[in-house]
Amino acid sequence: MHSLAQEIQGFSKDRLKKQCTRVTTVTGRKLLERRRDGGQDGETEEVEEIEEGAGCGFVEDQSLDLQVGIVRPFYYWDAAHDIETLQRCKVSHVLNVAYGVANLFPDQLVYKTLNILDLPDTDITSYLGDCSSFIDQAREQSGVVLVHCNAGVSRSSSVVIGYLMLREGLSFSDAYQQVKQARPSVCPNPGFFQQLQNYKP
């Protein structure tokens, strides 16, 4: 009877099943990675491109979310591609913090666009100064600001929470609760959540 140690010592790499991995890069390129034994040169990797990326490598939600969450008289959410909703809410300024989402009404609204990736290691707090200045500008002009990303869940909510902390001196807990009350679906990704908890304006 062979021991486990003997089996391991006698095991050959040739008996391993060849594996390939499908990878989607952040730019949307789809790759197929295969590893194979290169003899004396060791293991080599082959990469085959399956599909060229045209944007962010995440699933884009194409359906319109027309729910408008009012955090203050000057913040709204989503509905960025529905002009009737924008007009009904008297939106004058749009802060677009999505990645690869077009501004559809540049002749009718004032836009600021920051291409922010919804990834836990994105430094969301580094964008709060620019975002807050744009919101302040709109308020000074008695405007109404729509803050939107793709789904109105992580990036835009983080920006609004950060604004309340930076400009109104709210704690993270108070700012989060006010935003959550206005739009129950908000959920900053774990990285943004932790960064905002530690944020000291």
Q: Are residues 91 and 158 in the same domain?
A: yes
What is the percentage of the chain residues whose pLDDT exceeds 70? 64
Question: Which residues span the domain enclosing 127?
Answer: 75-197
Q: Are residues 83 and 28 in the same domain?
A: no
Q: Which of the four pLDDT bands, split at 50, 70 and 90, describes residue 71?
A: low
Tell me, yes or no, whether 150 lies in a domain.
yes
Tell me, yes or no, whether 81 lies in a domain.
yes
CATH of residue 83's domain is 3.90.190.10
Q: Is the pLDDT of residue 51 over 70?
A: no
Q: Is the pLDDT of residue 117 over 80?
A: yes
Q: Is the pLDDT of residue 76 over 50?
A: no
DSSP 113: E
Q: Are residues 24 and 90 in the same domain?
A: no
| Marked catalytic residue, from 20, 89, 149, 187 | 149
Q: Are residues 80 and 163 in the same domain?
A: yes
Looking at residue 48, its pLDDT comes to: 66
Q: Is the pLDDT of residue 191 over 90?
A: yes
Q: Are residues 47 and 79 in the same domain?
A: no
Tell me, yes or no, whether 132 lies in a domain.
yes
Residue 131 falls in the annotated catalytic set:
no
Q: Are residues 80 and 168 in the same domain?
A: yes
Q: Are residues 175 and 141 in the same domain?
A: yes
Q: Is the pLDDT of residue 103 over 60?
A: yes
As a whole number, the mean pLDDT across the chain is: 79
Q: Are residues 119 and 42 in the same domain?
A: no
Looking at residue 188, its pLDDT comes to: 95
Whole-model pTM over 0.75: no
Q: Are residues 169 and 80 in the same domain?
A: yes
- Of 74, 198, 180, the residue nearest 125 (C-alpha): 198
Give me Rg for the CA atoms of the chain. Answer: 24
Q: Which residue has the higher pLDDT, 37 or 60?
A: 37
Residues 6 or more apart in contact with residue 3 via CB below 8 angstroms = none
Q: Which of the four pLDDT bands, split at 50, 70 and 90, describes residue 12?
A: low
Beta strands in the chain (DSSP E): 20-24, 30-37, 43-51, 75-77, 93-96, 110-113, 145-148
Q: Is the pLDDT of residue 194 over 90?
A: yes
- The whole-angstrom distance between residue 190's C-alpha and the CA centroid of its chain comes to 11
Looking at residue 123, its pLDDT comes to: 97
Total domains in the fold of the chain: 2
